[in-house]
Structure 1
Amino acid sequence: MSEDWYFCSHRLPIARKALSEGFKVVVVTRISRYRNVIESEGFKVVPINIRRGGVNLFSELNTILTLYLCYKKYNPDIVHHVAIKPVIYGTIVAQFIGSINIVNAMAGLGFVFISRKKRIRLLRLFVHKLFRFLFKNKNTQLILQNKDDLRYFIKNKLVKKSQVLVIRGSGVNTKIFTPGGEPLGIPIVMLASRMLWNKGVGEFVGAARILKQEGIEARFILVGECDSENPESIPGEQLNEWSKVGMIEWWGAKTSMHKILIQAHIICLPSYREGLPKVLLEAASCEKPIIATDVPGCREVVNNGESGFLVPVEDSISLSYAIKKLVIDSKKRKIMGKNGRKIVEKEFSEEIIVFQTFKLYQRVLNPVN
């Protein structure tokens, strides 16, 4: 996968399960600061310089060569690729070598699939053709995180129905993400994600502006770092400017998300599209009411009116209405939070997702003819 931090935050439980079942686990990823964490779990780490943003021919060819040498060296029974570049490059290499079972996972449809920019639309046509080619091989499986993405892939004939299934997200550890009660003081409304325009950060700031003009007393917090490799990245200068004028507070990147989330009264994610946002699962597990957009991924997590509110996408006014309802009604916040926790325990716990993923591994390794 593209980033070591993503492996630690989203894929570690699956790798632990594989190790406990007798598999040797090799993690191929770009290293930032989590190599020691991964190796301490008993996994082998192979560094790879794969960049999510941009296309440099020499760099991309070097990535493919590194994957080829890695797969030849370890001769894996199964490879699990996560995100678009690892899926494409890893599948090309694995199919070239042959006799490798392939599991590909798309954690949502990124900007390549949803951007309205002309050059990205042209790239999307190429990616569509490439996916159709890659999934001609019957030993190649695809995991998607919601039914909307499944319909997209089937409608565009990118994959056969027999090769794709929905596993809803990466799960959440409900023993770690536990309720902590509401903190005292002014209500805190929090958006925790990468600082990208398509995460709805602009709309969140717009809603904060509206509510401050109305005299609604609340703190609006952004948690997350800029992502310079993503074309939707919001410059740090813009975030600092919003913070300087008192519109929001930007806390930057944080690692212990449970400690952060329990400081909030309300969690927002006005995203344009998601796979299955883990932060919303974590928030619901902490009994926090959620306000999100009525888009793929978010609507999988939030039962509108029960565990939170769903609002139209790219609509600061509707977002401000929903935030206001919860800011002024602590009883509703508490009820919605408890409902959200029940949903997570029933449908999205880490144990459920790990079981479903490992069941796929077993099916791929032991196909029924």
Structure 2
Amino acid sequence: MRTLLIIVNDPAFFISHRLPVAEGARDAGYEVHIASMNGSSVSEIREKGFVHHVLPLSRSGSNLLSEFYSLFSIWRLLWRIKPDLLHLVTIKPVLYGGIAARLAPVKGVVAAVSGLGFVFLSKGLKGTILRKVVSFFYRIALAKKNLRVIFQNPDDCSLLVRAGAVDLLKVEMIRGSGVNLINYAFLPEPRGDRLVVCLAARLLRDKGVLEFVEAARLLRGRGVSARFQLVGNIDPGNPASITDAEMSEWSEEGVVELLGYRTDIAKVFADANIVALPSYREGLPKVLVEAAACGRAVVTTDVPGCREAIDRDVTGVLVPVCDAVALADALQLLVNDSALRLQMGAAGRQLAENEFAIEKIVQQHLNIYLKLERAFDRG
């Protein structure tokens, strides 16, 4: 039996984004291990029947000593398990796991680059230096011979290829994490006096939360009758996180409704008419795929990752990044035009069925595993 080790930073992210791949691999005959930082979702991973290993991973990277310890701990785990295949998901596991795998008995590596993070959004001299440093570490981490790099959009791929961080021959393209079309069923629009516009994401500045709130203010000033909901938590360990003070201010102002973290996103979308994600950059946002599956028109930004998640002007509207006025205009268009909104929602469901079905995404991952196995079997 082949052994597969999946390393991901956050156990909750594994449950929401990679669980079907792990289950598909297990069904295909792999012995599957999961490694992540500790968290409340670890018990759920174990309840699903997977062996789980806790790694000392942090959300930030401010303490160099702890970062070196994270790298060492991954290297030590690789020597203990000696996996045939190593699947690295999110930035830290890709960087640290890729480096550790070059010094450990790992036969094949899959590195999933699901977005490049705030480093590639940073501006000024500091941002330039950070990008050069991170690109250098990507170059080291992705240098193993029997390795495949999964990108979710072509812009991220081009950026790292141009930086010399990845060989184009090692690249695989998979559009996102997929969606369960049964759990996220096509839903009729809710009835109510006021339409609901929803943003579901970690409450970070680079998710476009500030622009969403400002668009809500603008539309209220225009007399547009709609409710605006923020679904998600702040992330204190992330430098881009919205603050408690900002949340309190918005709550007192009454411009948006704060629903907090929710696991029942299909229910959230059942109660909404429009889904917005004015993000600055993504891998390929799962929330837009889920919104499409539920038959909801979306408004998102014309940036890497977001533009790949929709069919422009067919399943949703693209607006310029960091432009609250354009966001407000697009939302007002869909609030006022029910026929267009419903037409886009129906087209979104069709797009989800054709491109994002979870079965298709899982099979694409299994095909990559098989390629790597054939390569190391040939020696």
Q: TM-score range by the shorter chain?
A: over 0.9
- Residue 336 of structure 1 and its aligned partner are, at CA, apart by 0.5
Aligned identity (percent) is 40
Q: Which stretch of the first structure deviates more once superposed, 5-14 or 304-313?
A: 304-313
Q: Distance in 2 between matches of 1:24 and 1:289?
A: 40
Which piece of structure 1 moves more, 114-123 or 287-296?
A: 114-123
Kindly indicate whether the alpha-carbon contact (under 8 Å) linking 2:96 and 2:141 is maintained by their aligned counterparts in 1: no
Is the Cα contact below 8 Å between 2:85 and 2:106 reproduced in 1? no
Aligned residue in 2 for 1:63: 70
Structure 1 unaligned blocks of 5 or more = none
SS in 1 for 2:31: coil
1:130-162 C-alpha deviation (Å, 9 max, x unpaired): 222333321122111011111112222211111
Give the deviation of 1:180 after TM superposition. 2.2
After superposition, where does 1:116-131 map in structure 2 within 5 Å? 116-131=123-138
Cα offset, 1:250, TM superposition? 1.0
The yes-or-no answer on 1:319 pairing with 2:360 is no
Partners of 2:45 and 2:106 lie apart in 1 by: 27
Q: Which residue in the other structure is 2:243 paired with?
A: 235
- How far apart in 1 are the matches of 2:234 and 2:213? 16
Q: Distance in 2 between matches of 1:88 and 1:95?
A: 11
* 1:213 Cα deviation from its structure 2 partner: 0.5
* Partner residue of 2:318 out of 293, 300, 310: 310
Indicate the SS of the match to 2:372. Answer: helix
Q: Residue 96 of structure 2: which of 89, 95, 109 is its match?
A: 89
Within 5 Å, which residues of 2 pair with 1:1-369? 1-185=8-192, 186-367=194-375
Partner SS state of residue 111, structure 2: strand
Q: Secondary structure at the match of 1:366?
A: helix
Which letter does structure 2 place at the counterpart of 1:110?
G
- The answer to which of 120-129 and 281-290 deviates more is 120-129
Aligned-pair CA distance for 1:214: 0.7
SS in 2 for 1:219: strand
- Aligned counterparts of 1:42 and 1:136: Cα–Cα separation in 2: 33
Residue 46 of structure 1: SS of its match in structure 2?
Answer: strand
Distance in 1 separating the partners of 2:59 and 2:93: 9
Equivalent AA in structure 2 for residue 206 of structure 1 = E
Query: RMSD value over aligned CA atoms?
Result: 1.3
Structure 1 letter corresponding to 2:72 = L
Q: Give a deviation string over 1:226-263, Cα, whole Å, max 9, x none.
A: 01121110102202211211111111111111111111
209-218 or 122-131: which moved more? 122-131
| Larger mean Cα displacement after TM superposition, 65-74 or 267-276 | 65-74
Larger deviation: 57-66 or 84-93?
57-66
Alignment partners' CA distance in 2, 1:277 and 1:236: 25
Displacement of 1:117 in angstroms is: 4.4
- CA drift of 1:46 comes to 0.3
Aligned positions, number = 369
For each residue in 1:153-210, what CA deviation from the matched residue of structure 2 results, as whole angstroms up to 9, or x when unmatched? 2222211111111111100001100122111111000111010111111111111111
- Structure 2 residue identity aligned to 1:184: R
Task: Write the distance in 2 (CA, Å) between the matches of 1:292 and 1:73.
Answer: 44
Alpha-carbon contact 2:94-2:141 (below 8 Å) kept: no
Q: 1:44, CA displacement in angstroms?
A: 0.2
Give the deviation of 1:70 after TM superposition. Answer: 1.4
Letter in 2 for 1:49: P
TM-score, with structure 2 as normaliser: 0.95
Distance 2:71 2:61 in 1: 15
Report the residue type matching 1:303 in the other structure: D
User: Which range moved further: 216-225 or 48-57?
Assistant: 48-57
- Give, as a single letter, the amino acid of the residue that structure 2 aligns with 1:176: N
3-state SS of the aligned residue for 1:96? coil
Do 1:182 and 1:262's aligned partners in 2 also have CA atoms closer than 8 Å?
A: yes
Question: How far 1:54 sits from its partner (Å)?
Answer: 2.5
Q: What secondary structure sits across from 1:154 in the alignment?
A: helix
1:212 is aligned with what amino acid? R
Instruction: Determine the C-alpha separation between the residues in 1 that align with 2:45 and 2:143.
Output: 34
Question: Deviation of residue 99 (structure 1)?
Answer: 4.0
After TM superposition, give the deviation of residue 366 of structure 1 in Å: 0.8
- Alignment deviations for residues 35-79 of structure 1 (CA, whole Å, 9 cap, x no partner): 221112111000112012123133122212221221111110011
**Residues 117 and 231 from structure 1, CA distance in 2 versus in 1: closer, same or farther, beyond 3 angstroms?**
farther
